[in-house]
Structure 1
Amino acid sequence: MKNFKNSGIEWLGEIPEHWEVVKGFFLFFSKKELNLNFQCKDRLALTLNGVIEKSISQNDGLNPLDFRTYQIFEKNDLVFKLIDLDNINTSRVGYVHKKGIMSSAYIRLISKNKNYPKYFFYYYYNLYIKQIFNNLGTGVRATLKPDELLSIKLCYPPLKEQEQIANFLDEKCEKIQNFIEKKEKLLSLLQEQKQALINETITKGLDKNVKLKNSGIEWLGEIPEHWEVRKLKMLFSFGNGLNITKADFISFGIPCISYGEIHSKYPCRLDLSVHKLPFVSETYLNDKPQSLLSKGDFVFADTSEDIEGSGNFTCIQSNIPLFAGYHTIILRPKTQIYSLYFSFLFDSIFVRNQIREKVWGVKVFSITKSILKEVQCFIPPLKEQEQIANFLDEKCEKIDSLITKIKKQIELIKEYKTTLINEAVCGRINN
Structure 2
Amino acid sequence: MKNLKNSGIEWLGEIPEHWEVVKIKHIFNIGRGRVISQEELDENGNFPVYSSQTTNNGILGYIKTYDFDCEQITWTTDGVNAGTIFLRNGKYNCTNVCGILKPRNNENMSFLTYALQNVTPYYKRPDTNGAKIMNNEMANIQIVYPPLKEQEQIANFLDEKCEKIQNFIEKKEKLLSLLQEQKQALINETITKGLDKNVKLKNSGIEWLGEIPEHWEVRKLKMLFSFGNGLNITKADFISFGIPCISYGEIHSKYPCRLDLSVHKLPFVSETYLNDKPQSLLSKGDFVFADTSEDIEGSGNFTCIQSNIPLFAGYHTIILRPKTQIYSLYFSFLFDSIFVRNQIREKVWGVKVFSITKSILKEVQCFIPPLKEQEQIANFLDEKCEKIDSLITKIKKQIELIKEYKTTLINEAVCGRINN
Whether these two folds match at TM > 0.5 is yes
* Aligned-residue offset at 1:248: 1.2
- Pair 1:155–1:129, CA change in 2 (3 A): farther
Q: 1:101 to 1:232 in 2, by over 3 A?
A: farther
User: What is the root-mean-square deviation of aligned Cα atoms in Å?
Assistant: 6.9
Query: Helix, strand or coil: the match of 1:242?
Result: coil
Task: Summarize the Cα distance change of 1:128–1:357 in structure 2 as closer, same or farther, 3 Å threshold.
Answer: closer
Distance change (3 Å), C-alpha of 1:128 and 1:229:
closer
Deviation at 1:250, TM superposition (A): 1.1
1:392-424 CA-to-partner distances (Å, cap 9, x unmatched) read 000111111111111111111111111001100
- How far 1:10 sits from its partner (Å)? 1.9
Q: CA deviation at 1:134?
A: 24
* Distance of aligned partners of 1:140 and 1:105 in 2 relative to their CA distance in 1, 3 Å threshold: farther
Structure 1 pair 133–256 and aligned structure 2 pair: CA distance change class (3 A)? closer
Alignment check: 8 A CA contact 2:222 2:362 kept: yes
Cα 1:140–1:417 change in 2 (3 A) is: closer
Taking structure 1 as reference, are residues 100 and 421 closer, same or farther at Cα in structure 2, changes over 3 Å only? Answer: closer
Count of matched residue positions in the alignment of Structure 1 and Structure 2: 341
How far residue 17 of structure 1 moved from its aligned partner, in angstroms, is 2.3
Paired residues for 1:238-257 under 5 Å? 238-257=227-246
Q: CA deviation at 1:287?
A: 1.1
Once the two structures are TM-superposed, the CA of residue 108 in structure 1 deviates from its matched residue by 13
The structure-2 alpha-carbon separation of the partners of 1:103 and 1:343, relative to structure 1 and needing over 3 Å to count, comes to: farther
Q: Do the aligned partners of 2:260 and 2:307 also contact (CA within 8 Å) in 1?
A: yes
Following superposition, the deviation at residue 20 of structure 1 comes to: 3.0
SS in 1 for 2:199: coil
Change (3 A) 1:372 1:405: same
Q: 1:128 aligned to 2:50?
A: yes
Q: Distance in 2 between matches of 1:302 and 1:365?
A: 8
| In 2: Cα distance, 1:365 partner to 1:216 partner | 29
Once residues 160 and 113 of structure 1 are traced to their aligned partners in structure 2, the CA distance between those partners, rounded to angstroms, is: 42
- Give the 3-state SS of the residue equivalent to 1:176 in structure 2: helix
Higher mean displacement: 245-254 or 332-341 = 245-254
Structure 2 CA distance, aligned partners of 1:343 and 1:373?
16
1:377 corresponding residue in structure 2: 366
Native 8 Å contact 1:116 1:159 kept in 2: no
**Equivalents in 1 of 2:28, 2:19: separation in Å?**
34
TM, length-normalised to structure 2: 0.73
Q: CA contact under 8 A between 2:30 and 2:139: conserved in structure 1?
A: no
In structure 2, the residue corresponding to 1:103 is in which secondary structure?
Answer: strand
Report the identity percentage: 93
TM-score in terms of structure 1 length? 0.71
Match of 1:9 in 2: 9
State the 1:181 CA deviation.
Answer: 0.7
User: Is the Cα contact below 8 Å between 2:52 and 2:81 reproduced in 1?
Assistant: no
Unpaired runs of 5+ residues, structure 1, are 23-98, 118-126
Contact 1:116 1:163 (C-alpha < 8 Å) held by counterparts: no
Partner of 2:385: 396
* 2:53–2:81 contact (8 Å) kept in structure 1: no
Larger Rg: 1
Q: Distance in 2 between matches of 1:13 and 1:377?
A: 60
Change (3 A) 1:398 1:105: farther
For the Cα contact (< 8 Å) 1:129–1:418, is it kept in 2? Answer: no
Q: Tell me if structure 1 keeps the 8 A contact 2:54–2:81.
A: no
Q: Is the 2:256–2:303 contact (alpha carbons within 8 Å) kept by the matching residues of 1? A: yes
**1:133 positional shift:** 22
Residues 274, 100 of structure 1: alpha-carbon distance in 2 compared, 3 angstrom cutoff = same
Deviation at residue 101 of structure 1 after TM alignment? 21
Distance 1:201 1:102, change over 3 A: farther
Distance 1:128 1:8 in 2: 35
